[in-house]
Structure 1
């Protein structure tokens, strides 16, 4: 009878230990994600945009490209503060801050502005010779 009582106490203690340890360890490794869309100033979705996820130390954690509907995503991102950088020819580069939480999905909307054409005109001329009379 004493053996049964001791066994139940040991099993109960192990169950309690597992109840508290497993959720704590699950939170330690929990990661989040970033998903979003890229559009222009008129609201039209922009495809083939180079999108980067950069941490506070300016390290690039990932690169991707927006799909045909302007969507992009980054999975398995550690919790923290990041910057989403978007770039495409014909548009100004854009940076958007984002906060990733453990187990959460941060939603980012990136609006790109059309880049004004930069034109440079160079005029060259030669000086003429003036002859005296």
Structure 2
């Protein structure tokens, strides 16, 4: 239950963070940076070196929240979808996609985790321009 409340809180914060993305500030504060999310996602699945159910589920929930936020913003406004993920892609595949993308860009670890995940998904599954 505690993990679920934490995930809901993170998703709510992610929504607020992304909704304020258009504003500028003197310094940007991220709830999670790429390095944090990588630590939750990397090697935490069952059978992997650092297996941790809690971290693995946090990773999957965070990535699902990024995707759901992208879809929700497109439904609520004229904000275009950034990533058009095909039907049938699993949360585990989102995790693998994110890790492969981020591991190829170690200099991006200090950026916001949500923007990194969305960029990874948008580059992997771009939306067709209408």
Shorter-chain TM band: under 0.3
Work out which structure has the larger RCO, using CA pairs closer than 8 Å and 6 or more positions apart in sequence.
2
Higher strand share: 1
Higher helix share: 2
TM-score under structure 1 length normalisation: 0.24
Which of 1 and 2 has greater Rg?
Answer: 1
TM-score of the aligned structures, taking structure 2 as reference length: 0.24
